[in-house]
Structure 1
């Protein structure tokens, strides 16, 4: 009875502490986008000030960084990025509105942004100190009661010590229960994410990454290389970023681990890890491997029948519709726009469907503040696939729908690439990139602007496509994707429904 009473008392103390801890430590921050809450936000993480130089002027942005947004989860890497000549960030949590104080304003000096932080005076009492005054006595009482209970039961635990295994300092976990031999990657992901699609635990990601053997290089891009790798007999794709591309690596890993993102038509994310041997650093992003490679590679080697064309186009539209969709709720998903959709960033699966990859430039929509989190990296999308409003810089970057419409324009060009390879009665076109006959292989922004915006050219649609019902549907869709007026373009969801209805009607005829 005594042991039971002590356990209950200890539990009561612990619950009291848990219930009041967040309330005591709720941090208030200055927030320049929170006009509905008097430009104030509350967080369980950090206040931050972001400073950047635009048009020769220093500009400031203030907000909250909640723990749910941390990557890695234990401490946000975002807060520890070095200041550059054009931007700096400072995170703080020692007092309410600490990000509004002058001492946290980065100063512009000789084109280098530095932070000037003064010492806190002895008369200041922060929320952390107030919390400590309340929490510490409560903890001491709980510890005294808990100590009696601990010594009473410690002899029972001693007999269990021989079952515990040591995990070394490298953070590898070969004996982690979900890494047991015989467990496939697919099963492991389903087992640990419970359908949330938010990614494997970081410890498991690192363990997987450090057990991968690189087999052969299968691609190269602006960021680095793509390798085929093996993990316990399974093929994986390993995207290796150079250390100069850390932002792109971090952003892509962050986007891939967005809750509820996992989908059959989005490239399956497995793990992210940084490998440092003291002289160089490699940043790894590990995803599902698809032997057919990119849609660009596949279309260069293969043709499709009309059914395969619709099947493939529908899968891409379905993936994009899922990306663009916001799912409400505690386990919800923000709407995401890709910003670099092209045939080289789409993978072809063994069943003829596709998965959209390369999310390093993606942006997310925050419904509560109606803002877009544009990534802080220097990359732009692929010029050949840029929508007219992107090329002539008339796009409203503060409105999330603008990014979705630019994705749909690129989708229309991809549909044109696929349709050219549709084999009807032995007739088909050779594979070409959009605007192959209007601009050089590596066009400039000015060259693309002249063709797309000034001359309002679009890829040529052969007359023979009108005699095949599937090609007629595809040509009608692509025209409605690449309207010059962005607001007139179809949504990804509408494209998905049109293709799905057409496929269903064709199956009824069979």
Structure 2
């Protein structure tokens, strides 16, 4: 089909208000530069700025034709207008999406679209992509999406305009004189700005090319339009994470700037390695490069987890004994999956930045491991890649990492992850309601010992020299299940790396602790009435919720408990 065009009759739009011309950003920049030039050169620059050029007013979009596919295709009855309201410093566009099945055009949606550089300078709504799954077009101007087209070889028409008069000889002299000078000035300003704000990152990092995206697999998700960023969720060392919207699905988009393309490449390589599918690993959807020229970013698209990370969740919530066991078990299962080789050629992978911020929670509090930007995989017969030892978050660095004394073998990197697992489990235990006594406020590991922003030297003094660890409260050890978890935590963060537990062993320990708590006869129950037979109770303010502690008549025989001979099974 050469083109598919659907026209809808609509009432004439209200007379638009006079549009104010926008200031061209390049002119403002040139005016700023002018103030820095010598007095003799300023008149020549001003003459150059006053020359007629293409910097005129930009058409603004105030209203668009609106259509929602859920209303059905019933002609004018389904067509309405939409007033485009958005941020004042952002452009507004109109858009349309439709499908074409066997020559039949089925309109999906039309309406307003937020600032998108792909829509600039388009007065008609035209899709130019070859054979897209969903046709999409955007344009500028009121009700410009009333008509839409599909033209694969379409070239945006050049608006007829009168040629400016031939410049005078003096104008040519000024042009050829000022352009090199302005170019040098802009480069100097750009270099100074990069030095002040980014430490000249482009001087130390290779600028990515189109070959960078070859690591990203082809995904049908990339053909689904539109994908729109909605809200900033988090900001880290290598980029930002946004909540974004696909048709019918919320996703998370991790955005990497160009200088951190190595982290993007590494994370994509980990997610797309053989056999990397597991319920306790964050589900990867797609990866791509966004933007053109020097203005581009690298994206990783995954499922969005509304509960956020374990660290963020514990800041505002406490956990029950059952929730604690579920989070700890599924977290350890996810890391165990990473650490072990799989039957379908899955390599063993060390995370190298394991912490509560990098463990996300699903709606049912099932944990899934995320952020593989620093991960390294170990494949038989192949070098593991970048093996720089001192990486990760200082607060979660193992003693051997802080000392810089790492054995660059697979098991050594896996044990570094297990040290961090012990710290995350301590965070979970510290916010559990099952222990006797009040639950304290959320504290990060070593926050009491080294503060909120410890330096590398601070952590070396606390962890290596003093061999301190976060405190385990006495009341935790009085509960049979928490006591088992405290022992597991201590064996995970052991100073001797070879004495630490494996991730698979932590899974068994958590399951064993759950069974010990059940078999010991100490159970927690939530009820709406008071009880006079409880040995201890605590009621929450504002309701009559009571936690009942029911002791058993006699202590159980340890030999009859599942997993009693735990040391023999390790």
Shorter chain as denominator, the TM-score bin is 0.5 to 0.7
Q: Could you tell me which residue of structure 1 aligns to residue 509 of structure 2? A: 498
Equivalent in the alignment of 2:285: 270
Is the CA contact 2:481–2:514 (under 8 Å) kept in the aligned structure 1?
Answer: no
Partner of 1:219, secondary structure, is: strand
For the residues of structure 2 that align with 1:272 and 1:211, how far apart are their CA atoms?
Answer: 15
Equivalent position of 1:419 in the other structure: 429
Partner of 2:84: none
DSSP-derived class of the 2:404 partner: coil
1:311 aligns with 2:365: no
When residues 255 and 168 of structure 1 are mapped into structure 2, their CA distance, relative to the original with a 3 A threshold, is farther
Aligned counterpart, 2:370: 357
Aligned CA-pair RMSD: 2.7
Residues 169-188 of structure 1: matches in 2 within 5 Å?
A: 169=129, 172-174=132-134
- Change in 2 beyond 3 A, CA 1:465/1:506: closer
**1:374 aligned residue:** 386
SS in 2 for 1:413: helix
SS at match of 2:378: strand
Give distance in 2, aligned partners of 1:336 and 1:170.
39
Give the deviation of 1:504 after TM superposition.
4.7
Unaligned runs of 5+ in 1: 1-161, 176-198
1-side partners of 2:281 and 2:497: how far apart? 25
Which structure: greater helix fraction?
A: 1
Mapped partners of 1:243, 1:286: distance in 2: 17
Q: How does 1:93-492 map to 2 (within 5 A)?
A: 169=129, 172-174=132-134, 201-208=217-224, 211-328=226-343, 331-369=344-382, 371-374=383-386, 380-397=391-408, 399-424=409-434, 427-492=438-503
- Deviation, 1:465, is 0.5
Q: Equivalent residue of 2:423, what SS?
A: helix
TM-score by length of 1: 0.59
Q: Secondary structure at the match of 1:214?
A: strand
Distance 1:171 1:256 in 2: 28
CA shift, 1:441, in A, is: 1.9
> Against the structure 1 CA distance between its residues 375 and 174, is the aligned structure 2 distance closer, same or farther, given a 3 Å change threshold?
farther
The structure-2 alpha-carbon separation of the partners of 1:274 and 1:171, relative to structure 1 and needing over 3 Å to count, comes to farther
> Distance between the aligned counterparts of 2:338 and 2:477, measured in 1?
31
Q: TM-score, normalised by structure 2?
A: 0.53
In the TM superposition, what is the alpha-carbon distance from 1:374 to its structure 2 partner?
A: 2.4
Q: 1:388 Cα shift?
A: 0.4
1:500 shift after superposition = 2.2
Conserved in 2, the CA contact under 8 Å of 1:205 and 1:273? no
Q: Cα–Cα, structure 1 residues 272 and 439, in superposed 2: closer, same or farther, change >3 Å?
A: same
In 2, the alpha carbon distance for the partners of 1:420 and 1:259 equals: 37
In the TM superposition, what is the alpha-carbon distance from 1:277 to its structure 2 partner?
A: 3.4
SS in 2 for 1:275: strand
Paired residues, what number? Answer: 320
Mapped contact 1:235–1:289 kept (Cα < 8 A): yes
The 2-side partners of 1:434 and 1:500 are apart by 24
- What is the CA deviation profile of residues 259-305 of structure 1, one whole-angstrom value per residue up to 9, with x for unaligned ones? 11111111111110111133510111111111111111100000011
Q: Which has the higher contact order (CA 8 A, sep 6+)?
A: 1
SS at match of 2:448: coil
Q: Using the alignment, how far apart are the partners of 1:355 and 1:326 within structure 2?
A: 18
